[in-house]
Amino acid sequence: MADPYQDKLYTVFQPIVSADPNRLGCEALVRWHHPEYGSINPEIIVTVAEESGLGQRLGAWILQQVHQALNTEWQSINTHIDVAVNLSDSFFNESLIADVISIFAKHPEQRKQLIFEITETMTLDDMGRLSLLMNQLRDVGIRIALDDFGTGWSSMAVLNHLSFDKVKIDRSFVHWDGKHATAASARRYHLPHGAST
């Protein structure tokens, strides 16, 4: 990550369909092509980075790739693009805001195009601290999404205590095959006012 010319680690941008015809969306995903083992599972990449103490550094590197894409190949249309970034446990901390401000120092207006995704498990340790961090990120223009909603036991409690700009519902939560009663119960849940799926 320190070498700007390295080509083993890279990002891809997965398109996200938007209901707004004037907006484009994508999700920044990290990839690693190992010279011996080929393509490495992204979950392994994040796990190795976390266990090696490099989670925060990896997160900052991904944000740098997003900034670079917005201001190079997407420059002519960059004001119409929203970019989602998954945050690992170690990257979602008090230094995150400083990293964002530093990386987007020359284009602070682009912070409004970022959507940071956190998982439900990240909300379980200290909900008060998480709420504070979310508010600080919003103060600099960043939106927050809850990823994989419905996979944890405390899903509804999380929505009751925290305010999200977007909720990504896990496919297993809404899948219906006529056999599983839990899927039917999902129809009775209502998202908080203002949240989108």
**Gap between the Cα atoms of 87 and 37, Å rounded:** 26
Q: Which residues pair with 28 in a beta bridge?
A: 13, 85
Cα–Cα distances (Å) from 110 to 57, 104, 148, 154, in that order, read 21, 7, 26, 33
What is the tens place of the pLDDT at every residue in 91-142? 888 899 999 999 999 999 999 999 999 887 776 667 788 889 999 999 999 9
Task: Judge residue 62's burial from the number of C-beta atoms within 10 Å of its C-beta, 0-12 exposed, 13-18 middle, 19 or more buried.
Answer: buried
Task: Judge residue 122's burial from the number of C-beta atoms within 10 Å of its C-beta, 0-12 exposed, 13-18 middle, 19 or more buried.
Answer: middle
What is the tens place of the pLDDT at every residue in 40-67? 888 888 888 889 988 899 999 999 999 9
Indicate the domain borders of the chain. Answer: 9-188
Q: Which residue, 23, 96, 33, is CA-closest to 63?
A: 96
Place of tokens 């980075």: 49
Q: What is the pLDDT of residue 88?
A: 85
Q: What is the pLDDT of residue 13?
A: 95
Instruction: State which fold the 9-188 domain adopts.
Output: TIM Barrel (3.20.20)
Averaged pLDDT of the chain: 81
* Reported pTM: 0.80
Hey, what are 47's tokens?
């796990």
CB 31 within 8 A of CB 12: yes
